[in-house]
Structure 1
Amino acid sequence: MRKLFLLLLLTVCCQAAFAQQSNRITIRGSITDTSKAVMPGATVMLLTPKDSALVNFGRTNDKGAFEFRNVKRAPYILKVSYVGFLPLQVEVNPDNSEVTDLGALPIKPIQKELLEVVIKAAKAPLSIRGDTIEYNAASFKVPPGSTVEELLRKLPGMQVDQEGNIKAQGENVTKVTVDGKTFFGSDPKLATKNLPADAISKVQVFNDKTEAAKTTGIDDGKREKAVNLELKESHRKGGFGKVTAGVGTKDRFQLRGNYNRFNTKEQMSVIGLGNNINQTGLSFDDYQDFRGSQSFNWEDQGDFGFYSGGVYFFGGDDGIGVPITGGGSNSRGFSRNYAGGANYNYDTKKTKLSSNYFYNQSGLTLNSDLDKETTLPNSSFFNTDLKSQGSLTRNHRGSARFEKKIDSLNTLVIIGNLRANNGNTALFSDQDFFKDKNKDTLTSQTNFANYNQFNGFQLATTAIYRHTFRKKGRNFAASLAYNVNDTDGSAQQRSTNTYFNDTTATGPTIFSINQDNVTSSLRTEIKSSLDYTEPLSKTTFWETFYNFSRRNDKVDRDVFDVGDQISVRNETLSRYYTNDFTYNRIGSLIRYSDKGFNVSGGLAGMWFHQAGQFASNQGSSNFTKVDRNYFSVVPNVSVNYNKKNKRFNAGYNVNVNQPQTSDLQPVIDNSNPRFIREGNPDLLPSLTHRVSGGFGVFNPGSFVNVFVNVNYGYNINQIVYNQTVNELLVTTTRPENISGGTTKGGSVYFSFPIKKTKAVLNTNFYTNLNKFPTFINGVPNQTNNNNYNAYMSLDLTPSEKFTFYPTFNFSITDTKYSVNTAQNLTIYNYNYGGNMNVQLPKGIFFNGRMNYQIYKNPKFDFRQELPILNLAVYKLFLKDNKAEVRLTAYDVFNKNRGITQQAYQNYVQTERVQTLARYFMLSFSYNLRGLKSQMRQNNYIY
């Protein structure tokens, strides 16, 4: 808490320093048109005469008045902009009084005879038009060679964390476009981390509508925060990019580069990298949801109607774990990475094509040490796990989205995503088990070595047809999709299991596993949706929809017991399984939409049918059949208001989700002989009642943000993983349906400028209260996992030569078990961070990045402090600063360790992973500049 106090003290001191400076005045006035009518909502800015740097800004009130308080007594340029009016520029020279009143300042409307006027005035640093804020990039100085990410950090109302995640006006940015076009799919970081800041002319922040709302013209109340990067004219002609090569101590190396070539219709970009410093460089990785790098929203996938769960084609298994902390890729093991990709966009009024391809290869070496305590109804046991793992994976990904406006009434969209991957892994594990916390008595040991090879191919395609009738508001849409997921794998499982608590005269009991298995899995799906909207009035619409899906799963798993001479098929562990899953949903809703206010309510009937069979082998004459139906009526109610930088939302819905295929398969997985998994073909779909609400206010004049959100969910037939632990401490898990689990959460975000353009404080408080019911050895257990978090950051940008971004994050995780309250525990995690940039004389720059992590677990007397400090000094040279040489010291204190603490339904564990620590690197970068264009601009500068 001492460091938190120091951070708060720093904030107060900064505020006091800004407020207590001497010789301060107030500048006020009002804005009118030529007829002397007041102009509310006009953007007013104070600029320095020397370089037009932004000093302060705001908007006129309902009476057209503005006021800048506590500004330094000095000459200024007052800049006024308003849509449809010529920008006004006034010189301000304060006298000796405390208040400088400029009186009523008239602005002139743009008239036809003024269109040939060339306005030679300083560009306004920003303009505010409704819910859209547009920043003039040239007004916000960043060091030469900076990426867009560094530029965004400078913009008022924008925040970028150390991982590159972007917030605008307190909301997460989910889409970044370049000149209105997608850049390498829908991942915002690919644009912000790879495009140079000096290529950007304007940054536009706005609330984007869904693709369906854009096409139909009916506001559905859904919004996503989006950022558009408008390129300079010089970078729309010719190419630009950057290449970097570096060598370091401990045989470290890195090579990366990008090249971009844009024009008004086309965009082409290539990215490539290779390194052994644990940097993928591309955040587009294997963990991204493969439902579509081109899927901007739910409707764009062709699943019409309100969301109510249903069928997922590419998705992860249902998880019940609650991770407490976790590091990024640079905190786990040692990896060697190679990746490359290309992006091509073509955009005209009638035809839009967005496509990209990626290849990445990653080799990972990982050694870890794990301590784990598992809670039972009347006791607990402990185990340690020394693990060594090596893997090599290769991935090809391709995505494309084609949109054709056939005519003014008809639009066709075709989306395709393809992925092919292969690889191999080797895993070695030495596990010791104890029945006492002090680990005095060893009860059993397990040593295993597993080798796996895999190949996979996935294809997801969707075609969407939309027809807009001549009657406004009447629309029809249809979609058809076909998906394939084909995977094959082989594994060798070798283990020795020694049990000391069952000793005889001949010694402990030893069981060995020596097996090979071959598994093939094929999943195909065809699905379709229909949607029709009829206007009942100018503001009221009736929508009805139908969704259909037919999915087939086929799994063939052959397990062989390997002997000295021959291998014998294990009929108990081998399985052949098929599952046909049919999904139908029909529903209807009424929507009211007017002036930013959107209310909708509807019902849908959902019918699931599962027809499956399984046996020990494909040629068996004795198949066990699975045949069941499930029907549910699901409501959906939502209220949204989003206008004038104010938003409110509330909703109630019921989500119904089909079990994952891996949970339905009646297959026993003994790859870890101490943790056996088996499926359950009798699982029912899970149902969740969810209520949520929130409100937010963003003041574009003061850049004060307040956002509050709450949510509550109640689960029926929740899929949980019941555990049975036998006397040998072997755990068997099986998915079952249990009702009663709940999730509750809330968050409060508050941000305000302490000094406009100089210091901004961001705070965020959020909590998650989760209840997970399950059974341990047949005894009902309820795990209450409550997580409380506080986050604070301070953006200090006093000048273009110095910036500082300190952060603080505090987390408490309180876990309580009903079966054994003695095992309750509380875990504390602290994180202090900071990023500092300093411009020194003669083109030399300094950067420092600190990440101080503290992990505390009083129950296990565990405390770990990891101060990770990275320092860099670099110099720019050659013409136009095209070249850069940089010396970087990573992990100066040599403290980097991969630490993860996790609490699950009945166990808690701490894992330490050996990873890349201190090293030094010398790198050289060269910037490819775009060809300059002297095209004259005929538009006005705002």
Structure 2
Amino acid sequence: MKKILLLAILCLTMSVAHAQTSGRFTLKGSTVDTAGVPLPESTVMLLTPKDSTLVNFARTAKDGTFEFKNVKRANYLIKITYVGYLPYQEAVKPKDDDVTDLGKIKMTFMDQVLYDVVIKAFRAPLSIRGDTIEYDPKAFKVQPGASVEDLIRRLPGLQVDQDGTIKAQGETVKRVTVDGKRFFGDDTKAATKNLPAEAISKVQVFNEKTEQSRITGVDDGKHEKTLNLQLKDSHKKGGFGKATLAAGTDKRVEGKINYNRFNEKNQFSVIGLGNNTNQGGMSWDDYQDFKGSQSFNWGDDGDFGFGGGVRYISFGGDDDESLTIQAGRGAQNRGFNKNWAGGANYNFDTKKTKFNTSYYYNQTTQDLDATARQTNFLTNSAFTKVDTNGRLNFNENHRGSLRFEKTIDSLNTLIVLSNMRIGSGTADYFSHQEFFRGAQDTTQLSNTSDQRNFSDFNSFALGNTAIFRHKFKKKGRNFAASVAYNVNNSEGTIDQKSTNRFFRTSETTPDSILNINQTNYTKSLRNQIKGSVLFIEPFAKKFVVETFYNYSLKSDDVDRDVFDINESGSVRNTNLSRYYRNISTYNRLGTSVRYSHNGLNIAAGVGAQQIHLDGKFSVDQNDAVRTNIDRKFFNFVPNVSLNFDLKQNRYLYGGYNVSVQEPNIRDLQPIVDNSNPLYIRVGNPSLVPTVNHSVNLGYNYFNPGSFIQMFFGAYYNYYDNQVIYSQRVSENLVTTTMAENISGGKNFNLYGNYGFPIVKTKSNFNINASYNRGNNLTNINGELNETKNNGYNWGARLDFTPSDKFTVYTNANWNITDTKYSISSGQNQKIINTNYGAEMNVKLPKDIYFNSRFSYNSYVNNRFGFDQKMPILNVSVFKTMLKSKKGEIRLSAFDLFNKNRGISQSAYQNFVSQEQVRTLARYFMLSFTYNMRGVAHSVRRKGFGY
């Protein structure tokens, strides 16, 4: 018995001893200078000796200490950096104990010359300096031929959403630059999607001042998350790029090319694509761009003062007179699209001169068939419209931009901006609509409508802005002035044909038939002159006063001629034809006081603004009888903003502001538009501007040592005199709408996000949630309806990247919208949209790679029996080849389950809608990609060397 007990004790002792010398251990130490003073915030990295792969990282505490817990027992390389000190490097061999203490590590101070030499030789996988994080791509390996976007997904603290949007430390990246220079304007995805990962030597993430802050010289406490891509020296000396050709089943073809040639002062890039696989290739939403939402680089408008004059930044389309194609946001994922696109970007950058220009052309042909169902709720009833429609759209756009910034001397700076777009296109639209009485049991037919419309349009827009800034010798005193001229010219023709049948006594024989055959010619010309001045004067030590003035003079000329087509020819329709000229004058004068000290930035001010609308309209341009609209709107607009840098990457922000939106001229005209006999519009000359009161508060935290990120916030909007469109529905289900003012609409949103690494550099987890409550008011048949939307959103994301041989990215999102109607509580409903996604990359032997992407989408509305599931699986296998792995051959399968459709559902105001679109489904592609790499010795150091 004693022998057994002794043997057991011996075994236990040996197992404990074995546990102490195997498994995991803790590594700790501290950083000090040569005098023994602690060096807080030093960056400490734990690397594998073989290939310097980053295993873990940390920042030293206030007393200079650091600690890595639960580290796998193995040999490591430790690297330590601290600004102004010689980088430290040491091989680490763990002791037999649970803790290996490196003791005090002395860092040696060095001068700038030596620092520059050492930094070039010492490449840390990751370094952290304040709010700037710098990554070395060599430590985060990606597959051959990978794009910058693929690289970014591997970097700790960064993530890429499905649409290509980049988020850093929980914040959306607002600007991506290449060597500090703009790349295709301010588009954040052009560089990440088109530049190869192998061209990048550093990826830098930092907070940059806003454009207005840089122009005016006043720190407003706000920042824009910026990502800069530093090129390798080898890629600054020659050309590089990529070309891809692909062909597949069902006559699917695709081609894409990009080429870049950079040096210290110049950057030149070209991109191009063509396909019939619904791949837009660029990150621009072409339809929204045509409408003018990206006609300018945001923040460059030169409208000084709080809130800026952003309301006047874009032009065209707000009067609803311009002719455009019938499309929608995200059109690339709808129907069948053929795309052609190409562009060029050039940068020239010296210490005193910065010049950027770009040109982009795109052409899209869209063939789309859709089935939609919309139910409208009335006071004591409802009606449902079932719409089967198709469209064939052609749209092409030319876009050009120019930005020139000249530092004249230490006190004066000039910025010149110019943006141009030329667009044209056609749209062929046909629709069969059936209207039923009731919300669900659609058995009683009321109306039918067969429509066939064809439009042909073209447009031209040009925006020019010049901004001058002068710094006085007195510190903090600044003056800035801007002047701008914008023009927008569009014209087009719409042929409208429809047959409308009304059933009262029978569902088979119509009681009446109304035919429409019209041609609509519309010309629209807008000119706008703008000016803005800003004067900043410091007083006391921590206060500045900012005084500004904004002016805008905008003139609109619209000539709309409508003709009824009958057997005898064309007859002018005097009820629908109109000509109007509107002059809008905008003046705003304001001042604010800003307090700035130790990271706290508070500003409070008030502005007085007046909008004068001087409109004249008539049936015909030569008609002597004209109706005038002469309205003046005066408002005080207060503004309060808070930005508090709490240090250690913690930020608190908030504010209150009032914005004013004047009614558009079309809604003001007392004209009845019955070109669609089932949907009639009536103008209202007594409209007043909408006043929006907005309050927001938020907090953002990021720990660059642990890479824990967190942000949460809330915002609230309340509307006075909101312009809504009241509805009156007749017995024949003809809807008449009129713009009216109503107060009481509001919206509240609460959101939060939390992310952390499960295993540093290997696995990250992120969760987010938000709640939205909206109260939307509208009048339905003379009775006020309040639609309450309660939205609940949850999301989770898990990235697992243990090595370059295997990566997995997963995400899940749930969205529930609970909608309640005051006029018809029996129609209350819940819409549930869910999405699950996963992507896996595997490196196989002999340079073979496997990639798969899976998404599962669900759309449910039990109230209407709507339940759609859509699983999508894409897989590809590719192999690298040729010298230096410049070639790649890939076999891809898209939508293996053949389930792809365009599905959407929504509920708003007094209606709920669902739509399904036939779109591109299962197909297979075989592609070849060639990576072009420049020859360094053939290019001179300076200039392009062509």
Bin for the TM-score computed over the shorter chain: over 0.9
For 2:403, the equivalent position in structure 1 comes to 401
Q: Any conservation in 1 of the 2:296–2:463 contact (CA below 8 Å)?
A: no
- Residue 512 in 1 paired to residue 512 in 2? no
Separation in structure 1 between the aligned mates of residue 827 and residue 526 of structure 2, nearest angstrom = 42
| Aligned amino acid, residue 200 of structure 1 | I
Q: Any conservation in 1 of the 2:774–2:790 contact (CA below 8 Å)?
A: yes
1:133-167 alpha-carbon deviations (Å, 9 max, x no partner)? 01111111000100000100000000101211110
One of 442, 446, 455 as aligned partner of 1:443: 446
For 1:384, the equivalent position in structure 2 comes to 386
For 2:735, the equivalent position in structure 1 comes to 731
Q: Any conservation in 2 of the 1:202–1:229 contact (CA below 8 Å)?
A: yes
Which of structures 1 and 2 has the larger relative contact order (alpha carbons within 8 angstroms, sep 6+)?
A: 1
Q: Any conservation in 1 of the 2:589–2:608 contact (CA below 8 Å)?
A: yes
For 1:205, the equivalent position in structure 2 comes to 205
| Aligned amino acid, residue 809 of structure 1 | N
Q: Any conservation in 2 of the 1:173–1:225 contact (CA below 8 Å)?
A: yes
| Aligned amino acid, residue 53 of structure 1 | T
1:266-415 matches, cutoff 5 A: 266-284=266-284, 285-288=286-289, 297-298=298-299, 300-307=300-307, 310-314=311-315, 328-415=330-417
One of 910, 914, 917 as aligned partner of 1:910: 914
- Partner of 2:744, secondary structure, is coil
| Aligned amino acid, residue 222 of structure 1 | K
One of 411, 423, 428 as aligned partner of 1:421: 423
Separation in structure 2 between the aligned mates of residue 617 and residue 115 of structure 1, nearest angstrom = 76
- Residue 530 in 1 paired to residue 511 in 2? no
TM-score, with structure 2 as normaliser: 0.93
For 1:140, the equivalent position in structure 2 comes to 140
Long gaps (5+) in structure 1: 1-19, 320-325, 938-942
1:432-477 alpha-carbon deviations (Å, 9 max, x no partner)? 1111322222121110101111111111111101111111111001
Q: Which range moved further: 800-809 or 428-437?
A: 428-437
TM-score, with structure 1 as normaliser: 0.94
- Residue 495 in 1 paired to residue 502 in 2? no
1:731-810 matches, cutoff 5 A: 731-810=735-814
| Aligned amino acid, residue 478 of structure 2 | N
One of 482, 485, 506 as aligned partner of 2:485: 482
For 2:15, the equivalent position in structure 1 comes to none
| Aligned amino acid, residue 623 of structure 2 | S
Separation in structure 2 between the aligned mates of residue 667 and residue 366 of structure 1, nearest angstrom = 34
Once the two structures are TM-superposed, the CA of residue 932 in structure 1 deviates from its matched residue by 4.1
Once the two structures are TM-superposed, the CA of residue 111 in structure 1 deviates from its matched residue by 3.1
Separation in structure 2 between the aligned mates of residue 701 and residue 206 of structure 1, nearest angstrom = 15
Separation in structure 2 between the aligned mates of residue 683 and residue 933 of structure 1, nearest angstrom = 69
- Residue 219 in 1 paired to residue 213 in 2? no
Separation in structure 2 between the aligned mates of residue 389 and residue 585 of structure 1, nearest angstrom = 44
For 1:884, the equivalent position in structure 2 comes to 888
- Partner of 2:623, secondary structure, is coil
Once the two structures are TM-superposed, the CA of residue 776 in structure 1 deviates from its matched residue by 1.0
1:244-263 matches, cutoff 5 A: 244-263=244-263
Q: Any conservation in 1 of the 2:287–2:329 contact (CA below 8 Å)?
A: no
- Partner of 1:571, secondary structure, is coil
- Partner of 2:142, secondary structure, is coil
Give the root-mean-square deviation of aligned CA atoms: 2.2
| Aligned amino acid, residue 314 of structure 1 | F
Once the two structures are TM-superposed, the CA of residue 676 in structure 1 deviates from its matched residue by 2.8
For 2:77, the equivalent position in structure 1 comes to 77
For 1:166, the equivalent position in structure 2 comes to 166
1:490-541 alpha-carbon deviations (Å, 9 max, x no partner)? 1111111111115699852111111111111111110100100011134211
1:664-707 alpha-carbon deviations (Å, 9 max, x no partner)? 45555555442233443432211111110011110000000110
User: Quick one: structure 1 residues 664 and 338, their matched pair in 2 at CA, closer, same or farther if it must change by over 3 Å?
Assistant: farther
1:680-719 matches, cutoff 5 A: 680-719=684-723
For 1:460, the equivalent position in structure 2 comes to 463
| Aligned amino acid, residue 241 of structure 1 | G
Once the two structures are TM-superposed, the CA of residue 644 in structure 1 deviates from its matched residue by 2.7
User: Quick one: structure 1 residues 192 and 115, their matched pair in 2 at CA, closer, same or farther if it must change by over 3 Å?
Assistant: closer
Long gaps (5+) in structure 2: 1-19, 321-327, 942-946
Q: Any conservation in 1 of the 2:31–2:42 contact (CA below 8 Å)?
A: yes
- Residue 521 in 1 paired to residue 518 in 2? no
1:842-861 matches, cutoff 5 A: 842-861=846-865
Separation in structure 2 between the aligned mates of residue 293 and residue 528 of structure 1, nearest angstrom = 21
Q: Any conservation in 2 of the 1:205–1:228 contact (CA below 8 Å)?
A: yes
Q: Any conservation in 1 of the 2:212–2:304 contact (CA below 8 Å)?
A: no
Aligned length: 910
For 2:641, the equivalent position in structure 1 comes to 638
Q: Any conservation in 2 of the 1:34–1:107 contact (CA below 8 Å)?
A: yes
Q: Which range moved further: 449-458 or 660-669?
A: 660-669
Q: Any conservation in 2 of the 1:308–1:655 contact (CA below 8 Å)?
A: no
Q: Any conservation in 1 of the 2:403–2:418 contact (CA below 8 Å)?
A: yes
Once the two structures are TM-superposed, the CA of residue 785 in structure 1 deviates from its matched residue by 1.5
1:385-443 alpha-carbon deviations (Å, 9 max, x no partner)? 11011111111111111111111111111111111111111111101111132222212
| Aligned amino acid, residue 456 of structure 1 | S
1:655-666 matches, cutoff 5 A: 655-665=659-669
- Partner of 1:805, secondary structure, is strand
1:882-905 alpha-carbon deviations (Å, 9 max, x no partner)? 000011000010000110102121
Once the two structures are TM-superposed, the CA of residue 725 in structure 1 deviates from its matched residue by 1.2
| Aligned amino acid, residue 386 of structure 1 | T
Separation in structure 2 between the aligned mates of residue 294 and residue 504 of structure 1, nearest angstrom = 50
User: Quick one: structure 1 residues 606 and 450, their matched pair in 2 at CA, closer, same or farther if it must change by over 3 Å?
Assistant: same
Provide the identity percentage.
53
For 1:13, the equivalent position in structure 2 comes to none
Q: Which range moved further: 588-597 or 528-537?
A: 588-597
Separation in structure 2 between the aligned mates of residue 435 and residue 276 of structure 1, nearest angstrom = 41
Q: Any conservation in 2 of the 1:491–1:516 contact (CA below 8 Å)?
A: yes
For 2:900, the equivalent position in structure 1 comes to 896
Separation in structure 1 between the aligned mates of residue 329 and residue 578 of structure 2, nearest angstrom = 38
User: Quick one: structure 1 residues 688 and 493, their matched pair in 2 at CA, closer, same or farther if it must change by over 3 Å?
Assistant: same
Once the two structures are TM-superposed, the CA of residue 286 in structure 1 deviates from its matched residue by 3.1
User: Quick one: structure 1 residues 215 and 611, their matched pair in 2 at CA, closer, same or farther if it must change by over 3 Å?
Assistant: closer
For 2:655, the equivalent position in structure 1 comes to 651
Separation in structure 2 between the aligned mates of residue 763 and residue 559 of structure 1, nearest angstrom = 55
One of 571, 574, 579 as aligned partner of 1:571: 574
For 2:680, the equivalent position in structure 1 comes to 676
- Residue 627 in 1 paired to residue 603 in 2? no
Once the two structures are TM-superposed, the CA of residue 330 in structure 1 deviates from its matched residue by 4.6
Separation in structure 2 between the aligned mates of residue 830 and residue 190 of structure 1, nearest angstrom = 29
User: Quick one: structure 1 residues 206 and 113, their matched pair in 2 at CA, closer, same or farther if it must change by over 3 Å?
Assistant: closer
Once the two structures are TM-superposed, the CA of residue 659 in structure 1 deviates from its matched residue by 2.5
- Residue 96 in 1 paired to residue 109 in 2? no
Separation in structure 2 between the aligned mates of residue 584 and residue 411 of structure 1, nearest angstrom = 26
